[in-house]
Structure 1
Amino acid sequence: MNKTVLISGTSSGFGAATANYFAAKGWNVIATMRDTSKTESLDRSENIFVTKLDVQDRTSIDAAIAAGINRFGSIDVVVNNAGYGQFGVFETVSRETIQKQFDVNVFGAMDVTRAILPHFRAKRSGIIINISSGAGAIGFPMASIYSSSKFALEGWTEGIRYELASLGISAKIIEPGGALQTDFMNRVGGESAGLQLINDYVPFLEQIGKAYTRMRNAVDADAIERVVLSIYEAATDGTDRLRYFPTSDIQALLNARRNTSEEEYQAFTDKFFAAE
């Protein structure tokens, strides 16, 4: 019997590519999205079932899970992929905008997970794969809101991993750095548009703009493929591994974060984000 994966946020980017890859590998795919008319990026495959799921609407979460189980009989893996990035100087971002960032990136993933756990507990099996970011390990300038949401996602995932392991359920994290190459960055621009510009920050914005240009130029050409393969590996490798690092563009930052002293890490990142 084919296994089944439910993926949130499949209208574009990593989500659509992951849905297509799993389907090509013979999996049943419950491809969910807020607007089910946006399926242009999905392959026309009999084993891809499209249904509405808005992570900010718990009723739609329950309905999507029920519809997927009704269609395929069971769900084996959930990929919490839906999310976006709020960029901007912290002082310019309203509390309401910050709340929305956490509602989608953190509470949305929590609500999808909470909704699927009774099904996984009944089977004594299942895998939760949360799509984080290198920004979930490193506080990126101009992305303090996004980074803090991903830090929260990672801390929560690491905590529930212990709770769920005794039930045969795994919780895993994907930390891509190549999001700059997907539609994610287009949405970043949209979510950040209209923020107040405080002139005092202009020199900093010019400096950090150069740093982000360097980062964007370093993105792996096959970043999306690497992320998709990493998600598939997490779903199929049969291990209890927690974190997966698919792209190389921010590997130096991750290595500094996890393999050096605090003083060395701070010196490295200060230089990394400095203008050249």
Structure 2
Amino acid sequence: MNKKTILITGASTGIGKTTAQYFAEQGWNVAATMRTPEKATGFEAFTGIKLYQLDVTDEQSIARAIDSVIKDFGKIDVLVNNAGYGAVGVFEKATKEQIQKQFDTNVFGVMNVTRHILPHFRANGAGTLINVSSMGGRLTFPLYSVYHATKWALEGWAESLQFEVRQFGIRIKNIEPGAIKTDFMGRSMDVFSKPDLIAYDTYEAIATKNTEESYKSAPDSAVVAKTIFKAANDSSYQLRYPASGQASLFLFLRRLLPLGIFNGLVRLAVEKGFKN
């Protein structure tokens, strides 16, 4: 039986790295892509993983990486659009450049890689496109307005795209994690800053503290890797896969409750201690 091959973007750390390692442990060929593979660590023990340079904002690097993976492994069965960028904070403090970078990576980057892989999937008459989205693509929290905008865009794009590509046996899968213990709240996060704008300071400090508390009890990235593996092996056309107990609960409540009541629950949790 031929091994299946998966290409993962943003595989140097966090969810992407854990997913690459998990698929290799399950016997897959893994093309782990990242902007600087020469700096990557933690892959040496995995014989099924090969590293490739790919920047989702650089179309030449995308084409080069996909061609190299097909040359090395024969074909690509699954693409995981995982590369992401998190810019959060008070929207009024955001710069045009930060907003642009958020969309360039989380939306346009995903679209770039997908446009390059679709001809290969069509030629094969099969392929699975997996997007690492977020429960934040279907509900919202304070201080994440720009991040939510990218994930809501991703969800709508994928929901529409599935109609077009189904005729070719191509499946679209969106993975929707909740809070996950990765470096997202640390090294990977870009916080909007405008020192002379102090009107939001009290609210921002309280909302940030309460949000960070929720990450302390969050599961690690293995729960997402296992959900991605489930989606990759699912021959149905199911679109959405909540990737944690928290995500399942929050998404259920968002469907069940009127928006005003749901948002009231969000305020109770995230704005706890804020006097308005």
Scaled by the length of structure 2, the TM-score of the pair is 0.93
Q: 1:260: which partner in 2?
A: 257
Equivalent residues, number: 272
CA-CA distance at 1:260 after TM superposition: 1.6
Where in structure 2 are there 5+ consecutive unaligned residues? none
Show the counterpart of 1:240.
Answer: 237
Letter in 1 for 2:37: T
CA distance in 1, matches of 2:175, 2:132: 5
Residue in structure 2 matched with residue 136 of structure 1 by the alignment: 137
Counterpart position of 2:35 = 34
Aligned to 1:183: 183
Q: Which amino acid in the other structure matches residue 216 of structure 2?
A: N
Deviation, 1:96, is 1.6
Distance 1:207 1:29 in 2: 42
The C-alpha deviation readout for 1:118-154, integer Å capped at 9, x for no partner, is 0000111000000011221222211111111111111
Q: What letter corresponds to residue 200 of structure 1 in structure 2?
A: A
Q: State how far apart, in whole Å, the 1-side matches of 2:204 and 2:260 are.
A: 25
Moved more, 205-214 or 238-247: 205-214
Q: Give the CA RMSD over aligned residues.
A: 1.6
Equivalent position SS for 2:32? strand
Q: Summarize the Cα distance change of 1:6–1:262 in structure 2 as closer, same or farther, 3 Å threshold.
A: same
Counterpart in the other structure of 1:156: 157
Q: Secondary structure at the match of 1:161?
A: helix
SS in 1 for 2:37: coil
Could you tell me which residue of structure 2 aligns to residue 199 of structure 1? 198
Shift of 1:183: 1.8
How far 1:102 moved relative to its partner?
0.3
Q: For 2:259 and 2:179, how far apart are their aligned partners in 1?
A: 25
Structure 1 residue identity aligned to 2:262 = Y
- Asked whether the 8 Å contact 1:20–1:43 carries over to 2, the reply is no
CA contact (8 A) 2:141 2:266 kept: no
Structural mapping, 1:31-70, within 5 Å: 31-70=32-71
1:270 Cα shift?
A: 2.5
Provide structure 1 residue ranges, at least 5 long, that are not aligned to the other structure. Answer: none
Q: Equivalent residue for 1:172? A: 173
Matches of 1:202 and 1:193 in 2, distance apart?
A: 12
Alignment of 1:75 onto 2:63: no
Corresponding residue for residue 119 of structure 2: 118
CA distance in 2: counterparts of 1:128 and 1:60, whole angstroms? 19
CA shift digits 1:86-127 (9 cap, x unpaired): 011101111121011100000000010000000000111000
Between the aligned partners of 1:9 and 1:188, the Cα distance in structure 2 is: 12
Counterpart in 2 of 1:275?
272
CA offset at residue 197 of structure 1?
A: 5.3
